[in-house]
Amino acid sequence: MRIRPVQFVLILGLCITLYAQKEPAGQQSPLLGFDRDGSSRERALEKQFDSFIKKDDLRDWMKRLSARPHHLGSAYDKENAEFIASLFRSWGFDTAIERFDVLFPTPKTRILEMTAPQKFVAKLEEPALPQDATSGQRSEQLPVYNAYSVNGDVTGELVYANYGNQQDYEELARRGIDVRGKIVIVRYGNSFRGVKPKIAAEHGAIGCIIYSDPRDDGYFAGDVYPQGAWRNEMGAQRGSVADLPLYAGDPLTPGIGATPDAKRLDLKDPGTTLTKIPVLPISYSDALPLLRALDGPVAPTSWRGALPITYHLGPGKAVLHLVLEFDFNTVPAYDVIAQLRGSEFPDEWIIRGNHHDAWVNGAEDPISGMIAVLAEAQSVGQLVKTGWRPRRTIIYCAWDGEEQALIGSTEWAESHAAELQRKAVLYVNSDNNARGFLSVGGSHTLEKFINDVARDVLDPEKQVPVFERWRARAILEGSAENRREARDRPDMRIAALGSGSDYTPFLQHLGIPSVDLRYGGEGETDGVYHSIYDSFDHYTRFADPGFHYAAALAMTAGRTVLRFANADYLPLSVSNLTDTVARYITEVTKLSKDESDAIAEKNRNIDNNTYDLVADPTQRSVTPPKEPPATGLNFTPLQNALTRLQQSTRNYDAALRDASTSTRLKSRDTQQLLDSALRQIETALVDERGLPRRPWFKHMIYAPGFYTGYGAKTLPGVREAIEQHKWNEAAEQIAIVASTLERTASQIDRATSVVKGTGVRPLVP
Ligand SMILES: [Zn+2]
């Protein structure tokens, strides 16, 4: 039985949650978007859905799909797409494979050698292991490399630049180290790998090496594979270095589907997402001789990894020679699209996807998520056999080419953009999955809904709702504010989505409400990420041996899809959106003041000679240049728009409360009108002009950081302009976001009118 929080009471100044134990299912609180009877029926259906999920199926599918390397363009990638399509068909879905023709470079030449102070040639190979049955499939494995690096033959002195972030180069500059004309070596982690060569090139480096430091995912983290789960000395991380914060998808067809007749950019076009300098990933056994040969200043404490050396910054005696040459092939990408038509609102689409391609065998990434999609589709197929039909259309998708540039999802979303903007009501994503805690990122209109889902899925290890473990972890491990909120706020907060998986084209390009679901934190998977050791053998020892969390993911995403498909009206909550936007506005307002103070402080220290007084005369140090003072920003337009948004939100919630006792929301016409109004709340957050210098990204609330990649930047236009001290641009972006929020408030007002039954006519399709 489930345990549910029912109320909060204040005792001795502490908020304590009371629990009502063992509530009978029929007495659970109604679900968002359903009345009481509808909620009971829905929960009964979900129990039946769960009963069709079999861990043996999950295990068999993973074994089959990860049996051979299946990267984009490979023979087994196509076989997997056909196998997945045949499963969907056998379960009764209207299934098609959609093909796109996309750029996928593979290496012809990879040479990395140190020419001074002594000769060393990097091996650039991961050896097969007897304990790992698929690790020896040499002829089908992609070598260790970074896709979308340019060709290059460069020789230069080596400099160590930590994670290769902006601040790391500022730190080097303060020590008088200039990377112009040099090759930089940076470590994996902390940011998306594609921004590392981007920032290196902006600072004038001519080549970039990315290595896996044992501190981050090797022996410092735990025992290494095959004894333990973590990265061994020869393990290396493949991966895309496309400039994905610029645009996602095939580098040659931004904004349009990569169909055979699509107009393509030239490979030499400076506006593509290819890197500007050659870049290559290496293992720590290949990195050690290079880092050992570095001289120059000792690296700052926080830059030091776990190799048995003193980390130096260079440059100096260590000289590298890097040669990379690629075949810039066009290869087919195969998306599998399986549809089940809705009985009442067939033109409202719920899309559920995961990618099927991997870098090598990819048991964890992506098959651990893909098998959940299969289990969900199989269960839905079983439900259909009992006579049930979803009210709205459900579409299951298995994407190709995610690893290169979110290619399959992006090309599909771009090809069907107009139809998706009219019809899609939700995109549900997953990618990799392992034992542990639910983690959720997504549109904040979905926050309340997904908390309800988490209250109804049982954690396989603790037999409590996954919501309870999610909350307990925030209380124990979170900041003071996380702790207070986890205890007092009815809903756990969900993360804002940046990038790194297939939700990006749906949310950030098209403005479709999206959610990303995964379990993890206990299963150990980081150490084999994008290596030949991400295998069935590794997964079943270290990630989720019993496939319990694969089943939990299927039950979580399955509920998400089923509730959206069956609800009287779309279960979106505007109050969670408004609450979150208010926080973001507070954050950027504070950021503006903090940046302005930091500039003033720096300039004052330059004027007062403070840097020079502190500097050690035996070490080289450079005083940073003075900067013009910040221009004060006027946040009033954002505050006014927020006030309007808050008022509209209160009106909508009040109207919905009043309507809950009337029969109006049971009318099909009202439901359709309300869905249409609610769906367009997320669309209203999109501005067709897009973000500065990256018009493909159109969502004004969420984007991947231009210089961080995976991590979300919220209110990105305003926030990044402030971070980059572009004060005029920040002022422009404040006005744009303010009008976006006004538009969103009007859209909420439209939904309110529908709920009240006042003055809204159906839209002519
Ligand atoms: Zn993945």
Distance 534 CA to ligand 1 centre (A): 11
Give the closest residue to 314 by CA, choosing from 522, 604, 103, 114.
Answer: 114
Distance 454 CA to ligand 1 centre (A): 23
Distance 526 CA to ligand 1 centre (A): 12
Distance 88 CA to ligand 1 centre (A): 21
Give the model's pLDDT for residue 710: 84
The amino acid at residue 573 is: S
Distance 402 CA to ligand 1 centre (A): 7
Distance 432 CA to ligand 1 centre (A): 6
Distance 648 CA to ligand 1 centre (A): 39
Distance 501 CA to ligand 1 centre (A): 7
Distance 373 CA to ligand 1 centre (A): 14
Distance 361 CA to ligand 1 centre (A): 12
Query: Residue 123: helix, strand or coil by DSSP?
Result: coil
**Average per-residue pLDDT for the chain:** 94
The span from the CA of 373 to the CA of 554, in Å, is 7
Distance 395 CA to ligand 1 centre (A): 20
Which tokens belong to 182? 């040099």
Give the model's pLDDT for residue 760: 56
Distance 610 CA to ligand 1 centre (A): 48
Distance 542 CA to ligand 1 centre (A): 18
Distance 335 CA to ligand 1 centre (A): 15
Distance 92 CA to ligand 1 centre (A): 27
Distance 430 CA to ligand 1 centre (A): 8
pLDDT of 2 > 90? The answer is no
More reliable by pLDDT, 25 or 618: 618
Sorted by sequence, the CB contacts under 8 Å of residue 419 that are 6+ apart come out as: none
Distance 252 CA to ligand 1 centre (A): 22
Distance 670 CA to ligand 1 centre (A): 40
Which tokens belong to 76? 């087994």
Helices 36-51, 548-566: inter-axial angle, 10-degree rounding: 150
Q: Are the C-beta atoms of 677 and 760 separated by less than 8 Å? A: yes
Write the pLDDT tens digit of every residue in 634-686: 999 999 999 999 999 999 999 999 998 888 899 999 999 999 999 999 999 99
How would residue 711 be classed by pLDDT, with cut points 50, 70 and 90?
confident
Q: What percent of the chain has pLDDT over 90?
A: 93
Distance 506 CA to ligand 1 centre (A): 16
Distance 358 CA to ligand 1 centre (A): 7
pLDDT of 10 > 80? The answer is no
Q: What percent of the chain has pLDDT over 70?
A: 96
Distance 369 CA to ligand 1 centre (A): 8
Distances from the Cα of 566 to the Cα of 126, 171, 343, 350, 391, angstroms: 49, 55, 10, 11, 5
Mean pLDDT of 603-616: 96
Mean pLDDT of 236-253: 98
Distance 192 CA to ligand 1 centre (A): 13
Distance 502 CA to ligand 1 centre (A): 9
The span from the CA of 370 to the CA of 331, in Å, is 22
Distance 362 CA to ligand 1 centre (A): 8
Distance 530 CA to ligand 1 centre (A): 9
Mean pLDDT of 264-270: 95
Distance 751 CA to ligand 1 centre (A): 36
Which tokens belong to 332? 């087919």
Give the model's pLDDT for residue 664: 85
How would residue 761 be classed by pLDDT, with cut points 50, 70 and 90?
low
Q: Residue 168: left (phi > 0), alpha (psi -120 to 50), or beta?
A: alpha
What phi and psi, each to the nearest 5 degrees, are found at residue 162?
A: 55, -125
Distance 431 CA to ligand 1 centre (A): 5
Q: Are the C-beta atoms of 704 and 499 separated by less than 8 Å? A: yes
Sorted by sequence, the CB contacts under 8 Å of residue 673 that are 6+ apart come out as: 754, 760, 762
Distance 77 CA to ligand 1 centre (A): 14
Distance 62 CA to ligand 1 centre (A): 14
Write the pLDDT tens digit of every residue in 515-525: 999 999 999 99
Distance 383 CA to ligand 1 centre (A): 29
Distance 423 CA to ligand 1 centre (A): 26
Q: Are the C-beta atoms of 548 and 450 separated by less than 8 Å? A: no
pLDDT of 20 > 80? The answer is no
How would residue 699 be classed by pLDDT, with cut points 50, 70 and 90?
very high
Distance 356 CA to ligand 1 centre (A): 8
Distance 354 CA to ligand 1 centre (A): 8
Give the model's pLDDT for residue 663: 85
Distance 288 CA to ligand 1 centre (A): 29
Distance 365 CA to ligand 1 centre (A): 5
Give the model's pLDDT for residue 97: 98
Write the pLDDT tens digit of every residue in 282-339: 999 999 999 999 999 999 999 999 999 999 999 989 999 999 999 999 999 999 999 9
Give the model's pLDDT for residue 72: 98
Give the closest residue to 69 by CA, choosing from 579, 530, 612.
Answer: 530
E strand segments, 123-192: 146-147, 152-160, 183-187
Query: Residue 99: helix, strand or coil by DSSP?
Result: strand
Distance 714 CA to ligand 1 centre (A): 23
Which tokens belong to 152? 């290059």
Write the pLDDT tens digit of every residue in 539-548: 999 999 999 9
Question: Residue 546's beta-bridge partner residues?
Answer: none
Distance 355 CA to ligand 1 centre (A): 7
Distance 537 CA to ligand 1 centre (A): 18
Q: Are the C-beta atoms of 261 and 556 separated by less than 8 Å? A: no
Distance 363 CA to ligand 1 centre (A): 10
Give the model's pLDDT for residue 759: 63
Give the closest residue to 425 by CA, choosing from 678, 191, 221.
Answer: 678
How would residue 28 be classed by pLDDT, with cut points 50, 70 and 90?
confident
Give the model's pLDDT for residue 709: 85
pLDDT of 9 > 70? The answer is no
Distance 433 CA to ligand 1 centre (A): 10
Distance 533 CA to ligand 1 centre (A): 15
Distance 292 CA to ligand 1 centre (A): 33
Distance 410 CA to ligand 1 centre (A): 14
End-to-end CA distance of the chain: 45
Q: Residue 401: left (phi > 0), alpha (psi -120 to 50), or beta?
A: left
The span from the CA of 124 to the CA of 143, in Å, is 8
Distance 536 CA to ligand 1 centre (A): 15
Q: Which residues neighbour ligand 1 (ion) by CB within 5 Å?
A: 365-366, 431
Distance 393 CA to ligand 1 centre (A): 26
Distance 366 CA to ligand 1 centre (A): 5
The amino acid at residue 282 is: I
Distance 404 CA to ligand 1 centre (A): 10
Distance 462 CA to ligand 1 centre (A): 27
The span from the CA of 388 to the CA of 383, in Å, is 6
Distance 727 CA to ligand 1 centre (A): 37
Distance 368 CA to ligand 1 centre (A): 9
